[in-house]
Chains A and B, each alone.
Chain A
Amino acid sequence: MKFGILVNEGPYQHQASDSAYQFTKSALDKGHEIHRVFFYHDGVHNGSRLTTPPQDDRHITKRWTALAEEHDLDLVVCIAAAQRRGIVDADEMKRHGKDANNIAPGFHISGLGQLIEAGIEADRLVTFGD
């Protein structure tokens, strides 16, 4: 089965990102396909390169980066939600005259159209939120 994954909450604040990760990992282990993981609302914060969670617990962002690298996943952060919340890549930094960028490796910023496309292309779109 081909899945689209939607993550609507930020790391640690809600279980959503953890659940999405565990589901995605299990689906891949069972041989399913993950078309895209789309991060919306506060979910965009999963794509911040600057987090320093306590070392004795899971590093949510790095875990996504590692999974994406292992399985060639498409991790997309919504541009509108990212702008609103300050998740910035090199292009956005230039475009909006910011003095820094903070997007984590493996994540990239794109439009809401990518979410709709995932809904169209996947057999199931699974949402993880609050």
Chain B
Amino acid sequence: MEDEEYTGGVVKKFAYVNRRAPYGSIYALEALEVVLVGAAFDQDVSVVFMDDGVYQLKKGQDTSGVGMKNFSPAYRALEMYDVEKLYVEKESLQARGLTEEQLIVPVEVLSRDEIGELMEQQDVIFSF
């Protein structure tokens, strides 16, 4: 991780949208790396989890069978980086039989429509 300090003064609304499950592809892990590096730039950050992306936050991940590092604890570090606006799509949770209680970090559950409204407010949207 780099040590960067942004002194430009511009603050934009950044949304990082996660739509894929962890471990099956690199996107979840490398998206998290962008969020963590981006935290040093003092922007107005929201992180959204929808579709299979909701699985990234599931408690009790045991990756021993696939020989990959379980990186889910890193989501708990987001708070320490002042990334506190985490949103999970309600319909995505329901479709997968998941509840808020099964997630490793506190999140705000929003409906699909509300997520849409949130996205409209953003200046920059990264979709992984």
Contact = CB atoms under 8 A, between A and B. Distances in A.
A116 B30 contact: no
Contacts of B41: 113, 116-117, 120
A80 B31 CA distance: 12
A119 B30 contact: no
Interface in B99-118: none
Contacts of A115: 34
Contact of B8 (A6, A40, A120, A129): A120
Contacts of B126: 6, 119, 125, 127
A125 B4 CA distance: 21
Interface in A109-130: 111-113, 115-117, 119-121, 125, 127, 129
A81 interface: yes
A41 B6 contact: no
Given A117-B6, A120-B12, A112 B33 contact: yes
A119 B2 contact: no
Interface residues of A, number: 18
16 contacts: A6-B126, A41-B30, A80-B30, A111-B2, A111-B4, A112-B2, A112-B34, A113-B4, A117-B6, A119-B12, A119-B43, A119-B126, A120-B6, A120-B8, A120-B43, A129-B127
A129 B125 CA distance: 13
Interface string B15-57: 0000000000011001001100110110100000000000000
Given A111-B4, A120-B8, A80 B43 contact: no
B124 A81 contact: no
Contacts of A40: 30, 34
B68 interface: no
Nearest to B26: A41
B38 A116 contact: yes
A123 B12 CA distance: 11
B80 interface: no
B52 to A, nearest CB: 14
Nearest to A125: B124
